Amino acid sequence: MPIVAGRSATVVTWSAPVIVAVTAVHYYRGAIGRRRGGAMPDYELDTTQRNGVLRIHARGRAVLANPMTNRGTAFTAEQREALEIGGLLPTGVTSMGNQVRRVYEQYKSARTPFAKHSYLANLRDRNEVLFYRLFSDHIEEMMPIVYTPTIGEVIERFSVEYNRPRGVFLSIDRPEAIERSLLEYGLDPEDVDLVVATDSEGILGIGDQGIGGVQIAIGKLSVYTAAAGIHPRRAIPVVLDTGTDNLGLLNSPFYLGEQHARVRGPRYDEFIRTFVEVTSRVFPHAMLHWEDLGTGNAFRILEAYRHDYCTFNDDIQGTAAVVQAAILAGIDVAGHPLSDHRVVSFGAGSAGIGIATLLRDHMVDSGMSAAEAQSRFFAIGLQGLYVEDMDDLLDFQRPFARSRAEVTEWGCVPGRRITLLDVVRQVKPTILIGTSTAGGAFTREVVEEMHRYCERPIIMPLSNPTARAEATPADLIEWTDGAALVATGSPFDPVDHREVRHYIAQANNALIFPGIGLGVAACRAERVTDSMISAAARALASHANAYRPGASLLPSIDELRPVSAQVALAVARAAEDEGVARRPLTDPINDVYQRMWTPRYPPVEIV
């Protein structure tokens, strides 16, 4: 039986599969009851079960020091006596429900978002089950604290606020240590469903944050657990420390990463190749989730490995899938098939091109020719509309560049940047997507021009944070007299217009990536294919009820758990259809459901 085992002692290796032992300094793996070096594990837990039995070997303070065995005042009197902790706790025994209420009041007393995040991180380090119960019960309220936007400040302050480490730190200066470092996390091959890795170059619109990017991987995994039930001890956060070009960090005496400029070129590529190959060999069933790589590397790395390894880039594929879901819901309301639409992507970096690529492929799957589908997309960057003879286009952007002959026919002055307004006037788009971080770029003139030719324009200012959004929903709805179908990257309050309350869809990747990870884990997919991503988008779109006037194009964050289950089911079925599922589902709904861990104190067996 797979188990989790951990203790603050020396490394002891057991022979059978282990599930996890993350928080302990030393770990025990293998057959239950077997010893090495005279030591016993703190605990054993089968993390493949929804609520397996927790077998506790530890006694005394060690029980309370481990966040997977500690349940504090919820231990019964009998358990306290057997575990030798009766004198270490107040006399009163309380329920988990009362514990949740108590910690929620403490959470609310924190005055700033950063302080709230710090409180939750400390709670996770004391009592992991209670942390996830609190987060799950208040997921819509706490998502901006656990993840974006507060995680940005947490990342920036990582080296200054450093406390208890979580994750694996891999340095480009020590590539030979990659395998040893991954194994030091305490997991065996059968025990890992996810590895979330970042090199921290493109963090959340705030750029290069060096080693502090480990916090984005930790935050992402917290969402995987709360939203999709990925067991917290079946996932590993990794930061790839390739240096930093952030001079503020390099000149700080507190910075904890490698003290040199970011390494690029062949040495970087070799480091990434070694990391991918070692991770795939050590954890052969894990999905490698790339997060916040720089624009110059994100597409390139995804394309290099996605056909041979189980790998996924949330900034490209996850963003594309959630936006596609909102667009599919929007075109149902607008009443025209996707093949009738023209799409302008403003801010065509990795996210913008990822969205365009997935939509284009969906058009092709719906029966359009590849050339006709490609002709419906117009990509705009800082230098204006992408045109084929531009020198600074990246390889992944070139397929979306327009011909010089085409824009010459528009009457554009040679050498002048072709602006968003120019494109809107010439193209008459029906869908406008913003991933530029250029706040206010969707001006009233642009929006009203678009609305002149499109009765129900689909407009998506997706840039974060709120100050960088290309437009506000209130302005978009006012400028189109309530006709715009809107989704945003940041959360916005509902907008009242002409006696209709418009609920604003947040195109939050959390609606997609947890379900993809769960689906891949449930069927042990060999790869993450385009069909699996499209299946996830369609499953998400099916949850929207956008026909009621003012309804959101996407489900709300408080529906994450059922949404993730439905997405996972669609992903696993698509994997089976493509022949990449190594463990096909025999009872699909139950197979997915049973993989979703719930944050409840499990039954205890005191060994």
HEC states along 498-526?
CCEEECCEECCHHHCHHHHHHHHHHHCEC
Report how far residue 354's alpha carbon sits from residue 339's, in angstroms, rounded to the nearest whole number: 18
Quick one: 415 exposed, middle or buried, by C-beta within 10 A (0-12, 13-18, 19+)? Answer: exposed
If you write DSSP's letter for every residue of 322-391 in order, what string do you get?
HHHHHHHHHHHHHT--GGG--EEEESTTHHHHHHHHHHHHHHHHTT--HHHHHTTEEEEETTEE-BTT-S
Report how far residue 62's alpha carbon sits from residue 586's, in angstroms, rounded to the nearest whole number: 41
CA angle 530, 367, 372 (to 5 degrees): 90
Asked whether the bond before 144 is cis by omega within 30 degrees of 0, the reply is no
Spell 447-478 as b/e; 16+ CB within 10 A means b. Answer: bebbbeebebbbbbbbbbbeebbbbbbbbbbe
Whether 147 sits among the annotated catalytic residues: the reply is: yes
- Phi and psi at residue 405, to the nearest 5°: -60, -40
| DSSP conformation class of 43 | E
pLDDT, residue 553, reads: 95
pLDDT, residue 546, reads: 67
Q: What is the dihedral of CA 32, 35, 39, 40, to 10 degrees?
A: 10
Select which of 116, 132, 220, 386 is catalytic. Answer: 220
Average pLDDT across each block of 10 residues of the chain; the chain has 607 residues. List them in order.
Answer: 39 32 33 40 85 91 96 97 96 97 98 97 97 96 92 94 91 97 92 97 87 96 97 96 97 97 97 98 97 92 97 95 95 89 92 92 92 95 90 90 90 82 96 94 97 96 88 97 94 94 94 98 96 96 83 93 97 96 93 94 93
Are 34 and 15 in contact by the 8 Å Cβ rule? The answer is yes
Quick one: 531 exposed, middle or buried, by C-beta within 10 A (0-12, 13-18, 19+)? Answer: middle
Structure token digits, residue 506: 């947040």
Global pTM reads 0.89
Report how far residue 521's alpha carbon sits from residue 278's, in angstroms, rounded to the nearest whole number: 19
pLDDT, residue 292, reads: 94
Are 540 and 512 in contact by the 8 Å Cβ rule? The answer is yes
Which domains does the chain possess?
1-94 (no CATH), 114-293 (3.40.50.10380), 317-508 (3.40.50.720), 513-594 (no CATH)
Task: For residue 6, count other CB atoms closer than 10 A to its CB.
Answer: 28
Q: Cα–Cα distances in Å, from 568 out to 186, 229, 238, 365, 523?
A: 27, 11, 24, 21, 10
Report how far residue 43's alpha carbon sits from residue 604's, in angstroms, rounded to the nearest whole number: 10
Contacts with 234 (C-beta within 8 Å, 6 or more apart), sequence order:
19, 20, 47, 187, 191, 192, 193, 194, 521
Are 12 and 27 in contact by the 8 Å Cβ rule? The answer is yes
> Position of tokens 């954890």?
283
Q: How many helices (H) and strands (E) does the chain have?
A: 23, 17
CA R_g for the chain: 25
Closest to 304 measured CA to CA, from 283, 290, 314: 290
pLDDT, residue 197, reads: 98
Report how far residue 194's alpha carbon sits from residue 273's, in angstroms, rounded to the nearest whole number: 18
- Strands 54-56 and 43-45 come out as antiparallel
Task: For residue 532, count other CB atoms closer than 10 A to its CB.
Answer: 27
Select which of 147, 268, 305, 309 is catalytic. Answer: 147
Are 485 and 330 in contact by the 8 Å Cβ rule? The answer is yes
| DSSP conformation class of 415 | T
